[in-house]
Structure formats: C-alpha cells, structure tokens
Amino acid sequence: MAGNHCSFSASSGEHPMAVSGYGKRHVPGQRPRRKDDFAELKPRAAAVAAYIDRLPEGADISIKALAARLPYGQQAVGTALRQMSAAGHLRRVRERPPGCGQWVTRTYFSRLPRSDTWWAGFFAEAESAEPGAVRETAGKAAPEEETTPVGTAPEPGAAQEQPERPERSRAYGTLARLGEADPRMGLSAADCEELAPLVAQWFARGAGERQVVEALTAGLPGEGVHSPRAVAAWRLEHKIPPPPPVRSRTLRLVECTVCGVPGRPEALPGGLCRECRGGERRDGSGGAQADAQAVDVRRKAAAVRAAMARGRRRGSPDEPRDSRAGALRGTTLGR
C-alpha cells in the first residue's frame, strides 16, 4: 500500500510549480485518501504516486522534477510513471489555451485508477463543455428569477375551484413592472405580450432585468411619453447589446506518458504509444523484457569500469591501454 512505501514530503514550498509545462491537474470526482490507494502498483510506483497525490495543483511533475526530489533516478521515475499511466492514474496532455501562442503539457492525475474509456470520455466532455462557459456567464449576468410569481399551487382537491394563474415569462414580468421604475412607461398586458420576445433576445445576449429597465427609462422627455409601447419597441430593437464573443476552444492532444508522442486517446491505450508499451500489461506489472535489458546494460557498463580500474593500477602508462583492450574483449555494450 502506498502508505507503507512513501514518506516523502510534498509540501508546496518544497516542490516547484510548473511554469512552462507538466503542471499537475486533478480530475473531478476524487475519492478521499485511503490506506489501500495505489495498492495495484508496484512498491516504487505506489510511492511515487502517493507523493504526486499530495502535491498541490500546478506542481511540476515532470520526470526531472520528480527525480530531483525523490531518492530515485530519472529512469526509475519514468518507469513508475509508465506503470501509473498503464494502471489509469494519470494522462499527459498537450494543450494550447485560447489566446496562447504556445503548447504546454499538463498531467491529469486521478487517485482512483480510471479506464481508457473513462479518460476518453473525460477529455471529450471537457472539450464540449468549453463553449458552454459563455452561456453560463450570460446566465449569471441576469440572476433574477425566470418567471414572475404566480401564487401558491392549489391543493389537489381544490384544483377545479381555484384555477392556476397562467405563468408569465421573465421577459413579460420585466415589462409589466416597467411602470414601477417610471410611471411614464407603464405598459398594458397586450403591450407586454407583444414586446416580450424582444426582451428575451436581450436576456439571450447576457443582459439582466436592470439593464433592460435602464435602457427603456433613461433619457425620457420631461413633458411625458405619448406612446410607451412605441418607445419601448424602438429602444429594444436599436439598443440591444451585441452578442457575447465566442470563446475559442482549448486545443488538446493526449500524449504518451513516456516519450511524449501526441495522439488521440484511443490511439494511446494506457496513455502509452505502441513502442513505449512494449510488454507492459494494463495493470502495470509487465515490462519484464525492458527491465532485463536495462539490467544487462548496467552489468556490462560495470564490467567496463572495472576493467578500466584494473588498467590504471598497473605500473606502465602503456599497460592500461593494452590491459583495457584485453579486458574488454567480448564485453560489448548492446543497445
């Protein structure tokens, strides 16, 4: 369990925040921390995952930044991140926010392991939700109620005796109360019905009731208004605010956790490209062939260093060269 493998400090003052990329981002719906978090990972990967889990939003979790603060080298950290990605705990994403001229890399992290289908749906939902931010802002600009009060609904037994009053739209209610703001602009019920669609267009562009009332009552002639309906119609048509600007989408590409090759989520199962997956299984327990190759490279490198050390211990300056040549026969580093 992660709690038994990780005792690294992850306070915001000790770990750097990402400036140009690799900033940590939490996915929504995180469950509370538990003792068995990351239990499906190998001990080292679980320790790295627990450390990342405690980092603040925006912390730099690139391989170099993690290796600089953990007792593991970059290769070990990279292997841990590969296992975490294959298990569904993180995805690296290349993004270019609106108005930004450069791409940045974000790392979305989930304490709960997620499937490839969940990650694909998460990024698709994030893309489709962005244009809605404009509509949400427009709605918040007019927090008043959508309809005018219609009274208390009748009891079931008295439904026929006390018929409900018809519901009026928010636009109708705004016009009906216009005379309260300025008696010169009092409108009839028929006027309100006729002009309500124009007011609804104002609301659709983010205007609130106060903005509509001010537009219809400001600067009226002192001698009075001959036709409040005509004045309201002209102002609603000619003073309507412009539509809200359309916000550009954030361009987003999922990239391989190990090598950074970009692609669609379905092309990177486990957040890894084909070359980086190798023998890695979905639960992160594979990759034995790649690990064996790394061990073999380290063993041969150690043999080379030992041969060079033996040569330096000999007396003649020429002897180490000959000794190294003889010691290195048959010890060739493989790729």
**Within this chain, do residues 188 and 262 fall inside the same structural domain, yes or no?**
no
**Within this chain, do residues 300 and 192 fall inside the same structural domain, yes or no?**
no
**Within this chain, do residues 21 and 126 fall inside the same structural domain, yes or no?**
yes
What's the pLDDT at 309? 77
pTM: 0.47
**Within this chain, do residues 107 and 169 fall inside the same structural domain, yes or no?**
no
Please give the structure tokens belonging to residue 330: 């048959």
Q: How far apart are CA 329 and CA 326, in angstroms?
A: 5
**Within this chain, do residues 267 and 215 fall inside the same structural domain, yes or no?**
no
**Within this chain, do residues 117 and 184 fall inside the same structural domain, yes or no?**
no
What's the pLDDT at 94? 83
What's the pLDDT at 8? 62
Domain count within the chain: 3
Return the exposure string of 229-260: e unless at least 16 CB atoms fall within 10 Å of the residue's CB, then b: bebbbebbeeebeeeeeeeeeeebbbbbbbee
Domain extent for 309: 290-327
Quick check: helix, strand or coil at residue 109? strand
Q: How far apart are CA 270 and CA 88, in angstroms?
A: 6
Q: How far apart are CA 85 and CA 225, in angstroms?
A: 70
**Within this chain, do residues 121 and 106 fall inside the same structural domain, yes or no?**
yes
- Give the end-to-end CA distance of the chain in Å, rounded to a whole number: 35
Cα separations in angstroms, 29 against 58, 110, 113: 18, 9, 12
Residue type, 191: D
141 found inside a domain: no
- Measured CA angle at 111 (ends 110, 113), to 5 deg: 75
What's the pLDDT at 305? 78
Residue-by-residue DSSP string for 32-57: PP-TTTTTTS-HHHHHHHHHHHTSPT
Residues in CB range of 91: below 8 A, 6 or more apart? 85, 107, 108, 119, 254, 257, 265, 271
301 found inside a domain: yes
What's the pLDDT at 304? 76
67 found inside a domain: yes
**Within this chain, do residues 59 and 191 fall inside the same structural domain, yes or no?**
no
Residue 103 · residue 41 · CB < 8 Å? no
**Within this chain, do residues 298 and 281 fall inside the same structural domain, yes or no?**
no
30 found inside a domain: yes
**Within this chain, do residues 195 and 113 fall inside the same structural domain, yes or no?**
no
Other CB atoms within 10 A of residue 294 CB: 14
Block means of pLDDT (10 residues each) for the chain, length 335 residues? 51 57 82 91 95 91 92 93 94 78 84 90 68 34 38 46 60 93 92 93 89 92 86 94 73 83 84 78 45 60 78 57 45 43
**Within this chain, do residues 17 and 106 fall inside the same structural domain, yes or no?**
yes
Residue 233 · residue 198 · CB < 8 Å? yes
151 found inside a domain: no
What's the pLDDT at 278? 74
Q: Comparing C-alpha atoms, which of 182, 242, 177, 176 is closest to residue 207?
A: 242
What's the pLDDT at 286? 46
**Within this chain, do residues 127 and 253 fall inside the same structural domain, yes or no?**
yes
What's the pLDDT at 50? 94
Q: How far apart are CA 254 and CA 116, in angstroms?
A: 12
- Measured CA angle at 26 (ends 113, 73), to 5 deg: 75
Residue 269 half-sphere exposure, CB side, CA atoms within 13 Å?
9
What's the pLDDT at 76? 94
Please give the structure tokens belonging to residue 131: 């244009």
Computed on alpha carbons and rounded to an integer, the radius of gyration of the chain in Å comes to 34
Q: How far apart are CA 147 and CA 9, in angstroms?
A: 54
